[in-house]
A and B are shown apart, each in its own frame.
Chain A
Amino acid sequence: MAVAAPDRQRYEALRAIEEVARQLVAQIARGEGPYLEVPVRTLANIIWDPQSKLLKLGPRKLRRDFLDAGEARKFMQTVLMMSLLARAIREGDYPTIRDLYYAGKHTIEYTDEYGRARKEETWDVQKESDSVIQDIEVLTGFLREQMGILHDTKGKIVGRLTIRSGADVIDCSRMGDGAYSIPPNPDALEVLEVDAEYVLVIEKDAIFNRLNKERFWEKHRCLIVTGKGQPDRSTRRMVRRLWEELGLPVYVLTDADPYGFYIYSVYRSGSITLGYESERLATTGARFLGLTITDIYDYKIPRNFIIKAKDRDLKRAKELLNYPWFRSSKEWVKQLQLFLEKQEKVEIEALSGYGFKFLTERYIPEKLSTGAWIE
C-alpha cells in the first residue's frame, strides 16, 4: 500500500491541473481573456504564523492575464508546463525538473510589429521553467514531489533506520562509510523499524562524514542527517517525517554565523521562496543545538580560530532580526545582537582546536544533557 498512496496523489494532482485548465477554457469559450490567480511567492506575501510557528503564504494573489502583454509569456509558460505535468502523469513517466525544461523548450517564430521575422524560446533558462512549476504547485495545492517530479537531491541519512523504498528494504545502519541518499519524494518511503532517541541534523557534509566515520549514531543511538548547506525539499520532508511520525526530537548543528542560523530556521519554519509548502516541510519543533555566538565565549574558542564578520554577514544578521520568526524569540535576538556587537563568527571545526573528538565526545553530549539549545 506504500506505493499506491503516492500514485493516488499523482492522479489527484492531475485532476487539479485539469480543473485549472478547464476554468481557462471556460473563460475563453465565454469570450473572456483567460487568467490565472497565482499566489505571490515573495517575502512581501510571506506571513509568519506564531501560533503554528510556520512561514505561510499570505493572501496576495497575482492575476496572470493572458491578454496582459507583461504577463502573456508567463501565462504561456504556465499552461505549457501544466500540459507537460499532465502528460508525465498520464503516461506514467517520472521526469526531473530538468527533463521538463527540455521537454517544453522550443522556438516560437513570429513577425514583430515592424514586420521583421523573429524567434523566441518558450523558456531560455531552467530557472524560468522551475519558477512556473512552483506556480503550479501553489495553484493546484500539490507539490511537485506529489506529482512524481524528480530533482537533484543532496540529503543523506545514516542510523538505525529500516525503510522500504519501492520493492527494496534498506537498512540505513549498513551503509559503511557512505550514507543513504534521501530520494526526491520521501513520502514514498515506508519506515519499517527505527532505533534512535533523536535526530541530529548537520549543516556541513564534512562534519556529517566525520560523525559517520566515528559511528556517532551508533554510540549515541541517533540518526544523523545532512542537507549539505541549504537543505532541499526532500531532506526537509524527511526530517519532518522523522519528527512528526516517529516522535523523534530534532537538533540542528551549524556554524556560528547568520547563514547557519538561517539554515536552522528553514528546517524549523520554512523558507521564503517555498513558503507555500512549509506546512508539509517545516519541523516546528526543531532545536538549535549550536554553535551559538555565546558558545564562542563560553567554550573559550581560541582567538586565532575566530573569524571577523564580513559586511554581508552583518547585513544578513540585520535581515534576520527583521524576520518575525527570529524577532519573536528572545534568545535569537540576544544571539544576533551579540553577533552584531562582537562582529565575530566561528565554524564548527573551530572546536577541533580542543582535539578532534571534542565535538562528539564533549560538546554535543554536554549540550544535549544540559538542554542548552535554542528553540
Chain B
Amino acid sequence: MSEQYRQLSPSEFFYRNREVAGFSNPTRAVYQAVRELVENALDATEMHGILPDIKLELREEGDGSLTLAIEDNGIGIPSSEVPNVFGRVFYGSKYVLRQSRGVFGLGVKMVVLYAQMTTGRPVKVRTATARSKFVYEYEVMIDVEKNIPVIKSLKISRNDSKWHGTRVELSMRGNWVQAKKRVEEYVRRTALIAPYARISLEAPDLVLRFERSVEKLPPAPKVGRPHPKGVDIEMLRMMVERSKRSTPLVEFLVENFDGVGPVTARKFCEWAGLNPEMKLRDLKVSDLELLALKMQEFSGWRRPKASTLSPLGEELLAEGVRAVLNPEFVTAVSRAPSSYGGHPFVVEVALAYGGAIPPAERPLVLRFANRIPLLYDEGVDVSVKVVTEKIDWRTYKVEFPAPLAVVTHVCSTKVPFKGVGKEAVADVPEIESEIEAGVRECARRLRLHLSRLERLLEAKRWRVTVGKYVEDVSRALSYITNYDEEQLRSRLVELIRSRSSRGGR
C-alpha cells in the first residue's frame, strides 16, 4: 500500500485531500495547526519524562498572513532528521501499539504543507537534542511532486545555555478572529488534561497562561504487541511477511501477539481447526482470511493488557479540573482497564460542580481522547449521549440550571472515532457502559457532597430562624422577670451555637 503512494507522491495526495486532515477552511486550519503543533510538543516532552513547557505565539502580519510559532522543552530532533520530519510525507508509523496522541509526525507535515501552499514560505525549525553542543536552525520546504525536503537555509550555533527542545515557526493563511474562540478553548482544555504542563499562548487579543499545577507526570505507556482479537487481514499479512517463513503457526502467534502463550495458542488452533505446526510458508490467502476471522471470534484470549495505555489517574485529572475550571467540588474516577474488539481502553471521568462554573440548563461536557481535547461534533459523541440521555441527574440531587461540568477521557490504543474529523467517540457499547459507570460513580460522590451542603445550609437556616428572635425573647423575659437581659441573650446564643454544632435539630 505504502509503496504505491510513494510513487504517486504522498505529499501530493495529502495536499489534494487536505480537508480530510482538518484544513477545510481558514478557520479550521488555524485550529488544526495549533492542535497538531501542541500535540507534537507534548509528545516530545511528556512521553520522555520531561515536564512540558510550551510557548505558543500567533501574530497577524501586515500582508494578511498569520505567523504561528511554538516552542517546547522536549527531547529535540536530531539535526539530520529535521528535513525529513518536516519536509517529507511518509509513513513514520511502525506496528507498535501504545497510546500516543497521533501517528508520529504525520499531522505536522500537513501543517507545513498547508502553510507552504497558502503563503509560499518555508517552515523555520530551531532544535537541539539533550546535551547537544549545537543548536540547529533550518528553513525547510517540501517539493510536493517529488515528496522530498528542500533545505532553504541552515544555521548552526553553539548551545551554551544547554537548551533542548524544538521551536517551529510558520506562516499561513488563516482566520484568527474566527478561530480565536476554538483555539482558546483548545488550549484551556489541553491545560486541564495536562496539569503537569506549563502552557502559554500569546495571540492578538488573547493571552493565556496556565502554570503547572502538579510536578508529576503520569506513567508513560509501554510499547505493546497487538491483541489477537483486534487483528485484521492486512495487519496479519504484514506480520506474516515480516516473520521467518519456516516459523510454525503456534510460534508465530506466541511471538507476535499480546498475552498469547503456547497453551492458549494451541487451544486456539484446535478450536479454529488449524494445524498448530503448520509453517507460515504453507499459509494460503484463504487460510489467512480464516485465521483473521477465527482470531477475532475466539473467546479464549486473555484480556488485552492495559500497560500500553497511559491514563492520567484520578489525582492528576482532578487537579487539572481544579486548576482550569476552578470549581467548588471536584471528583475523578479512573476506571479499571477494559477492552473492545481486542483493543484495551481505560475510561476516566471527572465531575466538577459550583465555583467558577456558570450554571447552565445542561451539564458542560468536556471530552478527551488520548489526552486530546475533542471540540467539534459534540452532538454525536458517546459521552454526551451518556451524560444527557442516560443519566437522570435528579437522582444525584442536581437541579438544572446547575453549575455542573463532566469531563470524560477515553484512552485506547485505538479510539473508535466517528467520522474523519476525529472529534467524536463512537458509541461502542463497552466504552459507553464504562463511561456511564464512571459518571455514575462520580455523581454518587457529588450527591454526597450536595447532601452535606444541604445539611450545612439547613443547620445555618435553623440558626438564622431561631437566632433572629433571641433579641426579642431576652428583652421580653428580662422585662417580666427582672433577670439580666444581657445574660439571657448570651445564654440563648450559646445554646443555639452548641445545638447547631451537634447538627441542629
Interface residues of chain A, those whose CB is within 8 Å of chain B, are: 17-18, 21-22, 24-25, 28-29, 31-34, 66-69, 72-73, 75-76, 79-80, 82-83, 86-87, 108, 110-113, 120, 122
User: How far apart sit A85 and B250, CA to CA, in the bound complex (Å)?
Assistant: 103
Q: Which of A67, A79, A80, A110 contacts B505 (CB 8 A)?
A: A67
Q: Which of A18, A25, A69, A82 contacts B466 (CB 8 A)?
A: A69
Asked whether B473 lies within 8 Å of A79 as measured between CB atoms, the reply is: yes
Asked whether A72 lies within 8 Å of B469 as measured between CB atoms, the reply is: yes
**Residues from chain B with Cβ under 8 Å of A110 in the complex:** 464, 467-468
CB distance from A72 to the nearest CB of B (A): 5
User: How far apart sit A25 and B476, CA to CA, in the bound complex (Å)?
Assistant: 11
Asked whether A69 lies within 8 Å of B495 as measured between CB atoms, the reply is: no
Known: A28-B491, A80-B472. A72 touches B480 (CB 8 A): no
Asked whether B479 lies within 8 Å of A76 as measured between CB atoms, the reply is: no
User: How far apart sit A113 and B459, CA to CA, in the bound complex (Å)?
Assistant: 9
What are 18 A-B residue pairs whose CB atoms fall within 8 Å in the complex?
A21-B477, A21-B481, A22-B481, A29-B491, A66-B466, A66-B469, A67-B466, A67-B496, A67-B505, A69-B461, A80-B472, A83-B476, A86-B479, A108-B469, A110-B468, A112-B461, A113-B457, A113-B463
Asked whether B495 lies within 8 Å of A28 as measured between CB atoms, the reply is: yes
User: How far apart sit A33 and B475, CA to CA, in the bound complex (Å)?
Assistant: 17
User: How far apart sit A22 and B488, CA to CA, in the bound complex (Å)?
Assistant: 12
CB proximity to A under 8 Å, residues B447-498: 457, 460-469, 471-473, 475-477, 479-481, 483, 488, 491-492, 494-496
Asked whether B464 lies within 8 Å of A24 as measured between CB atoms, the reply is: no
User: How far apart sit A32 and B480, CA to CA, in the bound complex (Å)?
Assistant: 19
**Residues from chain A with Cβ under 8 Å of B495 in the complex:** 28, 31-33, 67
User: How far apart sit A28 and B481, CA to CA, in the bound complex (Å)?
Assistant: 13
Considering only CB atoms, which chain B residue lies closest to A120 in the complex? B468
Q: Which of B472, B477, B494 contacts A25 (CB 8 A)?
A: B477
Asked whether B499 lies within 8 Å of A76 as measured between CB atoms, the reply is: no
User: How far apart sit A120 and B468, CA to CA, in the bound complex (Å)?
Assistant: 9
**Residues from chain B with Cβ under 8 Å of A28 in the complex:** 477, 488, 491-492, 495
Asked whether B481 lies within 8 Å of A72 as measured between CB atoms, the reply is: no
**Residues from chain A with Cβ under 8 Å of B491 in the complex:** 28-29, 31
Asked whether A111 lies within 8 Å of B469 as measured between CB atoms, the reply is: no
**Residues from chain A with Cβ under 8 Å of B466 in the complex:** 66-67, 69, 72
Q: A32-B495, A80-B473 are in contact. List 8 more A-B contacts (CB 8 A).
A: A17-B480, A31-B494, A67-B496, A83-B476, A83-B477, A108-B469, A110-B464, A113-B464
Asked whether A18 lies within 8 Å of B473 as measured between CB atoms, the reply is: no
Q: Which of B471, B479, B483, B505 contacts A68 (CB 8 A)?
A: B505
CB distance from B460 to the nearest CB of A (A): 4
User: How far apart sit A110 and B463, CA to CA, in the bound complex (Å)?
Assistant: 11
User: How far apart sit A87 and B478, CA to CA, in the bound complex (Å)?
Assistant: 12
User: How far apart sit A122 and B505, CA to CA, in the bound complex (Å)?
Assistant: 23
CB distance from A352 to the nearest CB of B (A): 56
Asked whether A108 lies within 8 Å of B505 as measured between CB atoms, the reply is: no
Q: Which 8 A-B pairs have the closest CB atoms?
A: A83-B476, A76-B469, A110-B468, A21-B480, A113-B460, A79-B476, A69-B465, A113-B461
Considering only CB atoms, which chain A residue lies closest to B480 in the complex? A21
Asked whether B457 lies within 8 Å of A79 as measured between CB atoms, the reply is: no
Considering only CB atoms, which chain B residue lies closest to A32 in the complex? B495
Q: Which of A29, A32, A66, A86 neighbours the largest number of chain B CB atoms within 10 Å of its CB?
A: A66
Q: Which of B462, B468, B475, B505 neighbours the largest number of chain A CB atoms within 10 Å of its CB?
A: B468
User: How far apart sit A17 and B481, CA to CA, in the bound complex (Å)?
Assistant: 10
User: How far apart sit A122 and B467, CA to CA, in the bound complex (Å)?
Assistant: 14
User: How far apart sit A108 and B463, CA to CA, in the bound complex (Å)?
Assistant: 15
Asked whether A83 lies within 8 Å of B499 as measured between CB atoms, the reply is: no
Known: A17-B480, A21-B481, A28-B495. A83 touches B475 (CB 8 A): yes
**Residues from chain B with Cβ under 8 Å of A72 in the complex:** 465-466, 469
**Residues from chain A with Cβ under 8 Å of B461 in the complex:** 69, 112-113
**Residues from chain B with Cβ under 8 Å of A86 in the complex:** 479-480
Q: Which of B473, B496, B505 contacts A76 (CB 8 A)?
A: B473
**Residues from chain A with Cβ under 8 Å of B460 in the complex:** 113
CB distance from A33 to the nearest CB of B (A): 6
Q: Which of B479, B481, B496 neighbours the largest number of chain A CB atoms within 10 Å of its CB?
A: B481
Asked whether A83 lies within 8 Å of B457 as measured between CB atoms, the reply is: no
User: How far apart sit A76 and B477, CA to CA, in the bound complex (Å)?
Assistant: 10
CB proximity to A under 8 Å, residues B141-171: none
CB distance from A265 to the nearest CB of B (A): 38
**Residues from chain A with Cβ under 8 Å of B473 in the complex:** 34, 66, 75-76, 79-80
User: How far apart sit A29 and B478, CA to CA, in the bound complex (Å)?
Assistant: 12
**Residues from chain B with Cβ under 8 Å of A34 in the complex:** 473
Asked whether B468 lies within 8 Å of A83 as measured between CB atoms, the reply is: no
User: How far apart sit A156 and B460, CA to CA, in the bound complex (Å)?
Assistant: 54
User: How far apart sit A32 and B461, CA to CA, in the bound complex (Å)?
Assistant: 21
User: How far apart sit A223 and B496, CA to CA, in the bound complex (Å)?
Assistant: 59
Considering only CB atoms, which chain B residue lies closest to A14 in the complex? B480
Known: A33-B495, A66-B473, A83-B475. A18 touches B480 (CB 8 A): yes
Asked whether B479 lies within 8 Å of A83 as measured between CB atoms, the reply is: yes
User: How far apart sit A76 and B465, CA to CA, in the bound complex (Å)?
Assistant: 11
Considering only CB atoms, which chain B residue lies closest to A70 in the complex? B465
**Residues from chain B with Cβ under 8 Å of A111 in the complex:** 464
Considering only CB atoms, which chain A residue lies closest to B457 in the complex? A113
Considering only CB atoms, which chain A residue lies closest to B498 in the complex? A31
CB distance from B450 to the nearest CB of A (A): 16
User: How far apart sit A22 and B478, CA to CA, in the bound complex (Å)?
Assistant: 10
Asked whether A82 lies within 8 Å of B464 as measured between CB atoms, the reply is: no
Asked whether A18 lies within 8 Å of B481 as measured between CB atoms, the reply is: yes
User: How far apart sit A113 and B456, CA to CA, in the bound complex (Å)?
Assistant: 10
**Residues from chain A with Cβ under 8 Å of B467 in the complex:** 110
Considering only CB atoms, which chain B residue lies closest to A81 in the complex? B476
Asked whether A108 lies within 8 Å of B488 as measured between CB atoms, the reply is: no
Q: Which of A73, A82, A122 contacts B480 (CB 8 A)?
A: A82
User: How far apart sit A197 and B338, CA to CA, in the bound complex (Å)?
Assistant: 103
CB distance from A260 to the nearest CB of B (A): 43
Asked whether B464 lies within 8 Å of A112 as measured between CB atoms, the reply is: yes
User: How far apart sit A73 and B462, CA to CA, in the bound complex (Å)?
Assistant: 12
Q: Which of A22, A28, A73, A86 neighbours the largest number of chain B CB atoms within 10 Å of its CB?
A: A28
**Residues from chain B with Cβ under 8 Å of A18 in the complex:** 480-481
CB distance from A264 to the nearest CB of B (A): 41
**Residues from chain A with Cβ under 8 Å of B463 in the complex:** 113
**Residues from chain B with Cβ under 8 Å of A69 in the complex:** 461-462, 465-466, 505
Considering only CB atoms, which chain A residue lies closest to B489 in the complex? A28
Considering only CB atoms, which chain B residue lies closest to A18 in the complex? B480
